[in-house]
Amino acid sequence: MMRDAFTGCGTALVTPFARGGALDEAAVRRLARRQIDAGIHFLVPCGTTGETPTLTPAERIRVVEIVVDEAGGRVPVLAGAGGYNTHEVIEAALAMARAGADGILSVAPYYSKPTQEGLFQHYQAIASAVPLPIVVYNVPGRTGCNVEVSTVARLTAIRNIAGVKEASGNVTQMCELCRAVPSSFLVLAGDDALTLPVMSIGGRGIISVVANEVPAQMVRMVERAEAGDFGGARTLHQELLPLMQVNFIESSPIPVKAAMAMMGLIDEVYRLPLVPPSQASRERIGTVLRELGLPAGAAAARA
């Protein structure tokens, strides 16, 4: 699988649960199909938006198996496999490869706060053991450590480290990153609202939360940016910005799952420690959905 497979708009898929709390396999399949039918460029199961820390290893593999099966080779699958134990991350990534994933999205080690040399050796070890493209996931607001530009630049020399999902929120760092890495190395936005700024400086797309709700619109926005039509892309960006923002009114993926439930796409079920949004947040989410002309009632028909 070539690294360019993971350009454009990829969706960081939510993980739907049934009312009793079990994995809702039918809904996983239905959501993947909805994304593919909308023209999404690649799918990203078992990331942050998928509540992955609450899934068992067997559930993570099963989610990826279902998404891979539903994709049927029509779009690539970039499966999440990260953590703070390098050996366990390698085992998880190899399991994702056996499940049919085309690449691995690996979040930086959290809690342990490794040095930059530790981060480099962590990703080097994963890349040496896993025969798939690896996308580094930098999200210091969740992990407690930042994969610095100099470290990413070092990692570009490793053949199957294909790119980075940059979710630091630091636009200056993103500018420095795009300047420091080869043009063949993928820089993907990790925040929906920063998709256009990142693409304007050389980024190749987005791993998106909002595409769970509006995949076709995000695809159009990214494709316009890829084609150099930043005016057209900006119009869509401005239209979708309130939804991009409300998805983070509380810890993600709480708001996006609440919105999808309002749209009739999933049952609104979370696993602790995540809980449903407050009533004030719920009302704000519903208002934004209605402003975009999206169904926002509990009785909305499922897609």
Residue-wise pLDDT tens digits, 174-232? 999 999 999 999 999 999 999 999 999 999 999 999 999 999 999 999 999 999 999 99
Per-residue pLDDT at 42: 98
Tokens 């630049």 correspond to 153
Full domain range(s) for residue 160? 3-233
Q: What is the CATH number of the domain that holds 229?
A: 3.20.20.70
Residue 165 bears catalytic tag? yes
- The DSSP letter of residue 155 is H
Choosing from 110, 123, 165, 257, the catalytic residue is: 165
pTM of the shown model? 0.96
Q: How many domains does the chain have?
A: 1
Domain presence at residue 177: yes
What residue type is 64 in one-letter code? V
Domain presence at residue 290: no
Domain presence at residue 291: no
Q: Which residues pair with 44 in a beta bridge?
A: 12
Residue 10 has which token pair? 């990829």
Domain presence at residue 292: no
pLDDT at 303 over 50: no
**β pairing state of 78-80 and 103-107:** parallel
Domain presence at residue 270: no
pLDDT at 85 over 60: yes
| 199-to-3, 114, 189 alpha-carbon distances in Å | 17, 29, 8
Domain presence at residue 65: yes
Residue 123 bears catalytic tag? no
Domain presence at residue 286: no
- ω into residue 253 within 30 of 0, thus cis? yes
HSE, side-chain direction, 13 A CA sphere, residue 48: 24
Domain presence at residue 185: yes
Per-residue pLDDT at 5: 87
CA distance 259 to 247: 8
CA distance 39 to 218: 10
Choosing from 84, 123, 137, 257, the catalytic residue is: 137
